[in-house]
Chains A and B, each alone.
Chain A
């Protein structure tokens, strides 16, 4: 069984740039969520994708956007990067709600540093 994989593991960007983070979900999972974990904080929900559509969003501005592909992999895009966007970005996959879905399987994360 393949777990959740994320790329890149680390990256450095400058303020104003754009970044794309990628995630492959665990085999058998069709739902992908993205979380932001700032230093010293717990993960914060950004959004969730199911059947290639966003079906839940946390308190993040529109410059945070995503995609889910037919193979259930996903991308997180962040435009106009700000210094406060520096964080660990975690991708998590799960089965659809109501089918033993209530456990997220996380990847190791992508560490983004914005200078």
Chain B
């Protein structure tokens, strides 16, 4: 049962343009969402997060939007740079979800390619 879904396996964007990565979730108990970036042969690295009490969080070129009614979040990267080429994972958690602990549910990832 995939509770976090990233329906686009890949995305190509020209350098300087906006990259929009999407993520959908099914569990309304999720209250914290994160985006991770992963380069080959490296572990995922934290990019940006958002709590369910907000609908937008911005950090430099990266902005995450959360639409709770649609159970949808998106990551915007503006402007996109070739170094942003990586796999991006959406993840969700909730204090009352799952079997205690700090369990995160991950999507299957979107591979972003920024073309110079």
Contact = CB atoms under 8 A, between A and B. Distances in A.
Interface string A39-79: 01111110110100001111000000000000000000000
Contacts, number: 74
Given A31-B102, A105-B46, A42 B89 contact: yes
B100 A55 contact: yes
A43 B103 CA distance: 11
Nearest to A57: B99
A35 B42 CA distance: 14
A32 to B, nearest CB: 10
B49 A103 contact: yes
A109 B46 contact: no
Contacts of A35: 106
Given A33-B103, A56-B98, A56-B103, 19 more contacts: A33-B102, A41-B108, A42-B4, A42-B6, A42-B89, A42-B107, A42-B108, A44-B106, A90-B44, A92-B43, A97-B101, A102-B34, A103-B34, A104-B44, A104-B102, A105-B46, A106-B36, A108-B41, A108-B43
